[in-house]
Structure formats: structure tokens, C-alpha cells
């Protein structure tokens, strides 16, 4: 996730493939200790409108209840949400950016997530 000032609210673009179907998907990433608000979700959706119908918002923090409701609001493009806890679980399952030492728990390998 490499965002920059003036990125139009989009940190990345990818293709989601589901069987024979493909969808263009925009994503936004936020490194937060706190919570992502509904306003951040609305801003992201505004950047998506007219460009794609699928969105993914990833944060190291959490999403407020209002943000979760906004992401699934009827009549608006749906935005999938991945919070910090889910992100850690995905990384653990993929064995990405983590190392396991005998007799110790897994820990994050800091260099994997270094900003470029």
C-alpha cells in the first residue's frame, strides 16, 4: 500500500478474479492505531465513483460501527473492510511477513513492511 499526496484517494488498483469473472478493484490502506470513521469510507467511495464498482479498505486499526454501515450502504458501491486483526490473521495464514522461532510466538519481520 503506497499512497501519496494527490493520489486521488486510491492507493492501488487490482483485478479480483472469481471463477470466470474478473472485476477491477480499487484499494485504500490506512496505518491507524485508532478507528477509521464513516467519513474516510465516504471519501474513498467518492474517489471510486465512476471508475470502479468494487473497493477494499484495509487498516491496521479498527472500523467504527458507522464506518461498517457506510461500507455496506444500500444503493452505493460496496466496500470490503479488513481491519488490523483480520490483516494479521491473513498474514499469519499466508505466512507472509512473519517468522516463527522454536519456543516463541510468531513475530512480524519489520523489513517486510518498510515503506519504499
CA distance 41 to 11: 13
CA distance 31 to 108: 15
Q: What is the pLDDT of residues 51-80, one digit of tens each?
A: 888 899 999 999 999 999 999 999 888 899
The residue assigned the cell 496505518 is 31
CA distance 107 to 73: 36
Full-model pTM: 0.76
Give domain limits for the chain.
12-113
- Fold classification of 12-113 is Trna Endonuclease; Chain: A, domain 1 (3.40.1350)
pLDDT band at 3 (very low <50, low <70, confident <90, very high): very low
Residue 87: all three cell numbers together? 490483516
Residues 28, 39: contact at Cβ < 8 Å? no
Give alpha helix (H) positions in 34-83. Answer: 38-48, 65-71
**pLDDT, average across residues 29-51:** 92
Amino acid at each position: 500500500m503506497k499512497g501519496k499526496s494527490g493520489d486521488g484517494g486510491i492507493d492501488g488498483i487490482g483485478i479480483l478474479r472469481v471463477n470466470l469473472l474478473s472485476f477491477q478493484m480499487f484499494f485504500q490502506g490506512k496505518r491507524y492505531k485508532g478507528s477509521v470513521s464513516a467519513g474516510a469510507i465516504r471519501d474513498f467511495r467518492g474517489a471510486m465513483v465512476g471508475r470502479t464498482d468494487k473497493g477494499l479498505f484495509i487498516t491496521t486499526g479498527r472500523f467504527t460501527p458507522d464506518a461498517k454501515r457506510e461500507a455496506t450502504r444500500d444503493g452505493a458501491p460496496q466496500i470490503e473492510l479488513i481491519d488490523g486483526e483480520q490483516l494479521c490473521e491473513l498474514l499469519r495464514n499466508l505466512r507472509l511477513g512473519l517468522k516463527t522461532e522454536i519456543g516463541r510466538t510468531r513475530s512480524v519481520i519489520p523489513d517486510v513492511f518498510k515503506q519504499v
